[in-house]
Amino acid sequence: MQSSRWNSVVGPAITLAIMSAIWFVDTHVVRVPNPGAISFLAVAIAAYIGGIVSGVISAAISVAFTAMIFSLPGAPFHYAPDNLARLVVVAVCTPLLAVMMGLLKQREQRALARERVLTGELVPLRAALDQSEVSVVLLDCETRAQFMNYAFRQLLQLPDELVAKKPPFIALLYWTRDQKRFAIPDDQINAYISERMALVRRGDEKPIDIRFIDGTVLRFRCKVLADGGRMITYGNVSDLVHSAEEYAELATVDGLTGIHNRRHFMTRLDDEWTRFQRYARPLSLLMIDVDAFKAINDQHGHAAGDQVLVYVARACGAHKRGPDVVARIGGEEFAVLLPETALKEAQVVAERLRMLVAERPVRCGDDKVAVTVSIGVATSTAGMADPTDLMKRADAALYAAKRGGRNMVSVADTKAHGTAPASAA
């Protein structure tokens, strides 16, 4: 408060000193050709230092001295026409200049006050963000990084010199690419970066999970700020995502054998059936049943029966191709779905599987248990109404193999509902 009062006095004092010096020089030394310009400068300085009141007082001092200086010699306050015009200009313009400079001073003071308040708020805020486990980066309206908290800098392993440059966000993405951090193929990484930048520019707030090569999963979020900037956050959701994936896998996997369960098999069968109907691509199915499984349980115990089921499951998956689906769909019943496979090729696969299972017994403790399977083979045809028809056809072929003596492959007739045994041990 005392500083403000002092500034309001300093301005008029400076003006008084300047105008007194002009008057003295003009009266006793040499004629000052245009003291008005100097008076404007004095008033501007006074208003800037002390504000509007100081400026107006300085303007009054300036006008009074100018009136004295512009007077005719020996005739105070009488003026030649040119000097009268100059005096009028000084009398009108100096108060306006004082008000204008005073207003600018007030605006500057308010801006500085706001900046001090913001700085006072930002210091603890930045300190708090640096303690956060969530990675945060604040971007301006041109997507340049204005602030990166400690977690974000550690996440990307950013050097201090790069952080100090406040780089564009895309430069940070390229830095991560060059460090080989993204779990994305090299031929897709540039398109991935372009897509991320497009999301940031349009302010898409939909969360996206990003996978790093070390297995870390980060949930990316973009929030549009009032000034047109963006707040980008990366939360570590690795545990949540991995748990969800594990639960999803458990929901589709048979607990005993480790292959897919009936639920997953039926979903994949529906998908492949839709593809068959749309593109008329071949689709075949093997239905497999362990021969005399009840007798194995009765003679050797349920633990031995479990071992037999695991053995058959492994045999079913031994020659599995990428799109094939191997599943346990019942107690001792298995299925193998063969996309892009015609009936003859499926028959070859079935025969290979039958021989693989039968070629060696399963050791269960001190016992060796001989294991064989019966297999029914069917392929999709235009006359089938839905995928259950394909399963019924393969199932009928399976029971034909059972009736034919077991340890056989039976192929469903594509022209009729009958089946024909294809092979036997």
Supply the residues annotated as catalytic: 332
Return d(Cα 171, Cα 71) in angstroms, integer: 70
Dihedral of the alpha carbons of 406, 412, 418, 421, in degrees to the nearest 10: -40
Residues 216, 238: contact at Cβ < 8 Å? yes
Return d(Cα 227, Cα 239) in angstroms, integer: 35
Write out the two tokens for 77. 């306050």
Rg of the Cα trace of the chain? 45
Return d(Cα 8, Cα 48) in angstroms, integer: 10
Return d(Cα 46, Cα 101) in angstroms, integer: 9
Report the relative pairing of strands 217-224 and 230-236 from DSSP bridges. Answer: antiparallel
Which of 308, 263, 264 is CA-nearest to residue 288?
A: 308
Contacts of 85 (CB under 8 A, 6+ apart): none
Residues 110, 104: contact at Cβ < 8 Å? no
Half-sphere exposure (Cβ direction) of 151: Cα atoms closer than 13 Å:
18
- Amino acid of residue 289: D
Q: Residue 184, exposed/middle/buried by CB under 10 A (0-12, 13-18, 19+)?
A: middle
Dihedral of the alpha carbons of 20, 23, 29, 35, in degrees to the nearest 10: 110
Phi first, then psi: what are they for 405, rounded to 5°?
125, 5
Q: How far is CA 17 from CA 13, 22, 23, in A?
A: 6, 9, 10
Distance of CA 80 to the CA centre of its chain: 78
Return d(Cα 194, Cα 188) in angstroms, integer: 10
Residues 366, 399: contact at Cβ < 8 Å? no
Residues 304, 365: contact at Cβ < 8 Å? yes
